[in-house]
Each structure stands twice: as structure tokens, then as C-alpha cells.
A and B are shown apart, each in its own frame.
Chain A
Amino acid sequence: MELVCPAGTPASLRAAVEAGADVVYCGFRDATNARNFPGLNFSRPELAEAVTFAHRHGVHVYLACNTYPQAGSEDIWHKAVDDAVAIGVDAVILADIGLLRYARDKHPDARLHLSVQASASNEEAIRFYHREFGVRRVVLPRVLSLEEIRMLNRRISVETEVFAFGGMCVMAEGRCSLSSYATGESPNMNGVCSPAAHVHYEERGDSTVSRLGNFAINVYGNDEKVGYPTLCKGRFRAMDKAGYLFEEPTSLDVTAILPELADAGVTALKIEGRQRGKAYITQVVGAFRASLDRIANGQTGTRSNLAALSEGQADTTGAYRRSWQ
């Protein structure tokens, strides 16, 4: 299985290449990619340099242009696709139908991947994107179980890529406006979820309240570690009970089920975290490289040593195990 790794900066890209990535994915420094955070992402010259560096090491680069073009401003997204193709990236990762059609018409030879933001979660949706726009690979949303992925791979003729490590998005990607409900900025339109500019921490007696926009996302006691207020990992009250209604603060880690994913026909594993630092990238990519190499050598029973990097020091295999639902 191909190991697809994140890079939010040129330094992270070099780290990922050196740690054993097969592919590095990144985005331009604007609203065209779904990790539009301050200080992150690539200028055109930086991307060109990154592609040269990666290719020299036999590593591919994918460009994520995976937000939804804003009505009236589509040319910003068109230019991102044009520039990525001109720079020579190995694939462009897209979500929007109009943009896919633009890319297919304008650059018929470009390799197009379907972003998880397109939320293609079944064979008919995937066939549609393949038939209409020649999409060669689909990044599957984190809503499918291992068995559903296995069945899907038997019935489609495009490659599938699945999330292997990092943030555990519990809502179907590309279908979530929770963030814009609380802050006015959304993954689809602005490339951000629970954006930092809307985060506040408030000391209240013995506790700390983390807020996103006007809403308290969690309240921590003295003995608790204060976490980032990612909206769907917050503690809320329903039916007179307080708790992690949607999901505990936890990270996805598929190390334990790598052989099963390979057996289910998955082509590529995606590590998430373009907003993460170089040290994190080195450690996570290195650990996955080692696990994949062990499996390639016929060894089984791999375990991850990445728990310390996980949110809440807890990890999950998420929707891949049906029991998660």
C-alpha cells in the first residue's frame, strides 16, 4: 500500500520524504485547500521546488485543491489547478463537480483524485466521478466499515485511499457545516474547521472553559488537560447528561488493521496532519513506513508506538470497525 503523507510546509515535506513517504500531499496558501491555516501551505515557487526535491527521491507530490469554489470567484480555483499541473504534480485532489469538469476539460492528461471532501461513500457515487471526470482514485470518507470497503473495492475500478492516522473526523466530510454554524467559517467554503481565530479559553474559578465562537465546547477541571475546542470532540449536555456526545478526543490509528486494509483492496493510506510540525511528521511517517515494511516482509501483529502523539493519548480504528457506530 502506498503511504501518502501530509506536508504543511516545505520543511515538513522534506521530513516526510526522508521518513519514507511514497507520496506527499500539500496545498496552496489560500482558500483552495481544506487546511487553510495561517502560516501553512505552499507558494507556487515553493511547490515547484518541493516537486523537484521529491521527484529526485522517487517520491510523488499530490496537490489538494479540495474546497468548493465560491460563486463569483471560481477563477482562483481554476488557477490553482492550472498552476499545479504546470508545476508537474503527480495528481490533483479535487472535490467540486464544476472544478472536476474544468480540470478534465482543460488538462485531459492530468491525474485526478477525488478528495474525501466530495463524500463519495458508495459504488454509484464513485462510478459517477470515474465516468464523468476520469477520476482515478477516491479518498473514502470515514464513514465506511472495513467490510463495506472490501465490498466496494470488488465493485469499482478506481483506486481507493483511506485515512490511516490523525484527526478523527466523525461527520461525513464535505457534508458538515457545524463549524460555520458556530464561527461563520467552514471546511467547504473556507478550508477550515473550528478555526483558531474563533477559539477562546476562559478561566472560571477552578475550571477552564474552551470556547468556539459563542459556544462553550468543553469545561475542564483543574486535573484535566485542556484540549483544543474541535467542535465535534466537545463535551455537551443532552438528556440531562454531560459527556462526549459525538466522539471523545481521540485519534485514528489503523496500524493494528493494516493487513486487513491491504486484503480489502485498499491502494493507499493517508496520514492526516498538514498543520503538524516536522517532528510529528517524522515520527508518524517513520512508524508507518516500518509497519508497512514489516508486513511486506511477511511479519504480522504490528502495533503502533504512536499513542503519545494521539489526541487525548487515545486511539481508535473508528468506523472501520462496525462497533464504532
Chain B
Amino acid sequence: MTKSRLVMGPILFHWDENRKKDFYARIADEIDVDTVHVGEVVCAKRMPFFDKHLPDIIERLQNAGKEVVFSTLALVMNEREIAQLREIAEMPNLLIEANDISSIGLLSGRPHVVGPYINTYNESTLDYLISRGAHRASLPWELPMSSIEALCNARKTAEIEVQIFGRVPLAISARCYSARAHGLHKDGCRYVCGEALDGMDVETLDHTPFLAVNGLQTLSSHYLELSTAIDDLKDAGVNAFRISPHTLDMVRVANLYRRLIDGETSSDEVRQSLLEMQNDLAFADGFLHSLPGADLRETLGSRAE
């Protein structure tokens, strides 16, 4: 059996240049991940801040033996953004992740990754995407285990990837909710999304944690944590596992999942260690079990019986 791939997803949040540079430097030097995503997925306005650093970062990651994937915008709304996509689609020697159908059109015939923002819900769609050059498909977050199994059975040569850690992107809009919460307009947003490094917490009126706002994007409050399902996912045929960057020590997080995927630690130990790193983390695994996505079926110790 081939080794499972551990994937560091794109940074979804508007971290400042130094935080991002440090993050990628540590990944290059310290983590045993196979694939690292770069690029801006959420808001085109953030791109100029970091674009200039990307060539160096990509080179450093590649020199460290990582496969680098350039993730594209999830919601493309105008000609300027299309022009940026066309430029990205022409970059040589780089694997690109399509997160909007426009990128699927532009990347046809060239090996690429189908991102989780593309609606790959069934075998026919997966088959079509593979026929156009997709060599890995990262599945939508809301898919239950039965769908994941069916897609793995239909995947042909493509790899199937599932996110196993991190807040789940639930929605994207033309409207910037970070700006709106600050009484600002998107055009004059002052980049306030950058103030919330893991997203702006949103509670219900009775103080139940619910969502997290990240500019145009709305994420889950709970962190997806699928360590208890890794063996089942592997058995189903999933061969790439994505962790999504947060301000937690992602080197430690990645190493925990690396050891779990390689069978060197247990899911209880992974979860316990995550809680030791940040004890107020709330986890969810509902989507996988056909429950509300915010639910948690597998708790600590529940697999030990």
C-alpha cells in the first residue's frame, strides 16, 4: 500500500507577511508533510500583500522536497480576478488547485487538483473531472462516509483527499462580513479581517459558539477533527489527508497526524494532545456521520470499547 499523503491546506486567514513567511519556513524545515498549498482562496484584495514572497517560498518548499500546490480563489466575480486566474493557470511547473469552475475550464488538459470548493458530489462528476486532467480531488466538507466510499471506488487513477483538521469553510459571499461587523464597507475594509487570526468568533444570542467569520467566508466555530475516522477513511480508499492552518502550533499538529496516519499513535492521543495545546478547542465530526456538521459523535475514548 502506498503511503498516505499529508497535505497542509492553504492559509485561509489574512495573516501578516511575517507570520506567513515564518509559517512556510517552518513547514519547509520542520514538518513531514508531502504537500503544501499556497495562494489566496478567500479574498482577491489580500493578494498583493503576499504575492511578492511567493516565488521564494515556493522554491524553498520545493527544495525541501514538498509538492507545492497553488490554490485559486473560491469565488471569482470579475474580469480582474479572471485575469489573475489566467496568469496563475500559465505558471509552469506548478500544480494548481481549482476552487471555482472557471479554473477547471482554464486548467483543462493540464494536471491539476480539484479543490474542496468544487462540488464533487458523485461518481459522474468525479469521472468528468478526471477526464479533464484532475489527478487529485479534495472532497467537499459536507459529504458523508457513504459518498466518500462511493467516490473512492470511482476514482480511477486520481487521489481522493479529505480534510481531517481545522475549521470548515461553510459559505462564501460577495459581501465582507468582517467589514460589516466593523461598520465598514468591502471597498473600504481596512483589512480588518486580519485582526482575527483564526476567524472572528460568532456566537448565538445565548452565547453558544456557532460560526467564525473570515472576510467573505464563513467558517464553523468547531474544528473538524477526524482522527477517530482515519482508519475507516484509509480503508475506504482515501489517500490524502488535509489539515487546515490555524494559529495553533501547526508543526506539532502536522506531526501528530503524520504519526496517526502512519499508525504510530492513537486517535485518543491525537485529540488529547490537541487539547493540551489549546484546551478550549471544540471539535466536530458530524458531516462524516450524516449528522449536523457541528455535532461530535466520536469523543475521547469512544473508540476504545
Contacts and interface: CB of A to CB of B under 8 A. Distances in A.
B127 A98 contact: yes
A118 B206 CA distance: 35
A131 B102 CA distance: 12
B273 interface: no
A218 B295 CA distance: 20
How would you classify the secondary structure of chain B's contact residues: helix, strand, loop or mixed?
A: mixed
B174 to A, nearest CB: 4
Contacts of B79: 122-123, 151, 155
B121 A182 contact: no
A252 B55 CA distance: 44
Interface stretch (A40-48, A241-249, A283-291, A300-308): A241-249
Contacts of A242: 205
Contact of A246 (B82, B129, B177): B177
Nearest to B104: A128
A142 B201 CA distance: 25
Nearest to A98: B124
Interface string A180-205: 11111010110000000000000000
A153 B218 CA distance: 29
Given A71-B122, A238-B203, A128 B174 contact: no
B203 to A, nearest CB: 5
Contacts of A184: 286, 290-293, 295
Interface in A159-189: 170-172, 174-178, 180-184, 186, 188-189
Given A129-B101, A188-B121, A181 B208 contact: no
A122 B78 contact: yes
Interface residues of A, number: 73
B124 A238 contact: no
- 6 smallest CB-CB distances across A and B, nearest first, come from A98-B124, A128-B105, A71-B150, A124-B102, A143-B174, A98-B125
Interface of B: 74-79, 81-82, 85, 100-106, 117, 119, 121-129, 140-143, 146-147, 150-151, 154, 168, 170-177, 180-182, 185-187, 200-208, 210-211, 213, 218, 220, 286-287, 290-295
